[in-house]
Structure 1
């Protein structure tokens, strides 16, 4: 007969009890490990979403940077991101884009729902990404010629000098020769892109001339601000030499003649048939000036100034600069006409604009006159500081210009090769 002593019974009972305690202790010890594994899974999931978010944002800014204008770049990048946004793990994503200094910037955010961490009050993890892209060439179009129906849309004659090493000239005509560059010409530009298959270069110096080139389309067509034109009633005035200073209040004027005034000050309004004869200084106060119903004739020896001004050609009337005129004009820096210096009503028939003999002048802003066949004669020491020009065609005769890309400079088609900045 087996006999168990009390010591044996106690040892067996202790063994059974200790096995139960070990199980409890193991379960308690494993809980933090399981939580840690769950947290690691949540963070791995958010890291995966961030990887997809970054790659999608990178692709979006690269797609957008190929477009020709800031608004088109932003729209393209946004639509690309919205179509390709990562939906892994039901992450809620969003992105925004902006353009500064010709660089397309993008930021994106995502809220990633958690699993284990949600049981401890952390229902989402936030991740973000940043990206920026720009044309690898850095080229910006400062002069765009949009007439596609005739040859010689760009004609540079002997003595024409244009210093614009950061700018491109684009010529959209399909008719050969699309451009003629004559001997004695120096077009120091980043690139000259002519859509026509033939260009005649008679010994002139021209930067990176390309034929059969993908010249950009007009990025501003149909996108310029509309202007409300005042009624037909207008005031006519004649100022004699005995009146030295004239200040015209804002209004609607036509057939106004100035003779030998010391200074003339204009305020925003509509003006037609303005003649400035030997007036020493003409100043335009900030605002919108509508030219309609007759040319402005600004004659020799004058200083013509305006800061924060926009000049709108409502019909084929123009401001004609004649002789040695010092022109100092800059566009507004905010508002509806931000960086717009000259522009015209849509649908105007093609007409000529001849600029004669301005000197020591500065033009700043967008000059958008796609109906104008522009001829520039004997222009010396002109700094088109941060200027962008859109004309039908352009003839340069004995000019000396320096141009830097304006705020509304157009993205070059050479920007098909783009790069990520970060």
Structure 2
């Protein structure tokens, strides 16, 4: 008699129950993977957004620095913008007008680790780009007083040879400028915003009236100088040889020896709460900047001969004389220069500047900004500054490159 057929049927039922358990286990794992993956991906995109924000800030800030400092400053900005507990080391590349930062970060996972995915790599990059702030096409003399009568006064004996320079006078006063007989101006253009000038028996070549002037070309590039304690206070320099170092000079200083040689070490000279009276002598300094923290001044008297050159790199690039913005209007006088050679920018927008009595000036590159300008018996040969100021990496219009 054959065996009953019930046994194979029971085995089949038993196998199906095992398959159901296995399938249920697989579905649970799939659900866990799905939920875990969603959580880990959400964390991934959250961390990536924070890294991207930090990288964007770092390249924007870094590009405002001189080329040699961009990577260092950008790295510091990147770290300071990361939330607590998040750490990564970026890398940077730069050229004249761009700064690019990149970083790779291994973001650890949670539930995805059960499937052998212990981390997800996040790659972030950003590029900032700027426009070189060149002054090559701008005026080399700007007179800013918008309404003053005689904002520019050119008297007998004033002779300027500057065929590659433009002088601009913002004044619409009556008259905005006076040109007296015996003067000679050889500029590429003399641009006066006002329509009323006086020409006393003299011709002014390439004079343009009702001429629109540009904004102060250097104002946006002037660096802020932090106020520090005085390093030198009051003094009389009477010896035949004087050597000065950068620092904060407070009070009054007199340079009385007309045959003295005064040498300046490279750096920033801050002049505060007083001024310098210079009675002759020879001044030499390469890579020097003089900063007027208040209405102080240097008054050059009787026969000074100066050979002064601004820095060609760093924070104060191209700045020879400059002042704190927003000062009240005061006078600044250059008297009787035997032979001045100055290279750089003289940025004195609050000063009424006078060049007197045989004030001779030559330069390889010189640009000036002042409130008013008086020229008396001066002889100049000028070329404009063709570089750019040092702050902000010598760039303007800095932005992210999308």
Could you tell me whether the CA contact under 8 Å between 1:169 and 1:192 is conserved in 2? yes
Q: TM-score, length-normalised on structure 1? A: 0.58
| In the alignment, structure 1 residue 343 sits paired with structure 2 residue 341 | no
3-state SS of paired residue (1:293): strand
| CA distance in structure 1 between the aligned counterparts of 2:302 and 2:289, rounded to whole angstroms | 23
- The structural deviation recorded for 1:206 is 2.3
Could you tell me whether the CA contact under 8 Å between 2:147 and 2:176 is conserved in 1? no
| CA distance in structure 2 between the aligned counterparts of 1:339 and 1:386, rounded to whole angstroms | 9
Aligned to 1:8: none
| CA distance in structure 1 between the aligned counterparts of 2:150 and 2:261, rounded to whole angstroms | 37
Greater Cα shift, 314-323 or 216-225: 216-225
| CA distance in structure 2 between the aligned counterparts of 1:212 and 1:265, rounded to whole angstroms | 48
Aligned to 1:282: 262
| CA distance in structure 1 between the aligned counterparts of 2:241 and 2:224, rounded to whole angstroms | 32
3-state SS of paired residue (1:406): coil
| In the alignment, structure 1 residue 267 sits paired with structure 2 residue 245 | yes
| CA distance in structure 2 between the aligned counterparts of 1:196 and 1:176, rounded to whole angstroms | 8
1:371 to 350, 353, 358: 350
Structure 1's unaligned 5+ residue stretches are 1-70, 72-95, 100-134, 235-251, 411-422
What is the number of residues matched between the two proteins?
Answer: 261
Could you tell me whether the CA contact under 8 Å between 1:281 and 1:304 is conserved in 2? yes
Could you tell me whether the CA contact under 8 Å between 2:338 and 2:358 is conserved in 1? yes
- The structural deviation recorded for 1:205 is 3.5
1:306 to 274, 278, 285: 285
| CA distance in structure 1 between the aligned counterparts of 2:362 and 2:203, rounded to whole angstroms | 20
3-state SS of paired residue (1:368): strand
| CA distance in structure 1 between the aligned counterparts of 2:359 and 2:223, rounded to whole angstroms | 32
1:217 to 191, 215, 218: 215
| CA distance in structure 1 between the aligned counterparts of 2:368 and 2:228, rounded to whole angstroms | 27
- The structural deviation recorded for 1:215 is 1.2
Alpha-carbon distance change, 408 to 172 in structure 1, aligned in 2, over 3 angstroms? farther
Aligned to 1:258: 237
C-alpha RMSD of the superposition: 2.5
- The structural deviation recorded for 1:139 is 5.4
| In the alignment, structure 1 residue 352 sits paired with structure 2 residue 350 | no
Deviations 1:16-59 (A, max 9, x none): xxxxxxxxxxxxxxxxxxxxxxxxxxxxxxxxxxxxxxxxxxxx
Runs of 4+ in 1 over 3 A off after TM superposition: 96-99
- The structural deviation recorded for 1:381 is 3.7
Deviations 1:180-199 (A, max 9, x none): 10111100111000001111
Could you tell me whether the CA contact under 8 Å between 2:318 and 2:388 is conserved in 1? no
| In the alignment, structure 1 residue 200 sits paired with structure 2 residue 198 | yes
| In the alignment, structure 1 residue 391 sits paired with structure 2 residue 370 | yes
Q: TM-score, length-normalised on structure 2? A: 0.61
Aligned to 2:150: 152
3-state SS of paired residue (2:219): coil
Could you tell me whether the CA contact under 8 Å between 2:335 and 2:359 is conserved in 1? no
Deviations 1:153-212 (A, max 9, x none): 110001110110110100001212111101111001110000011111112242310110
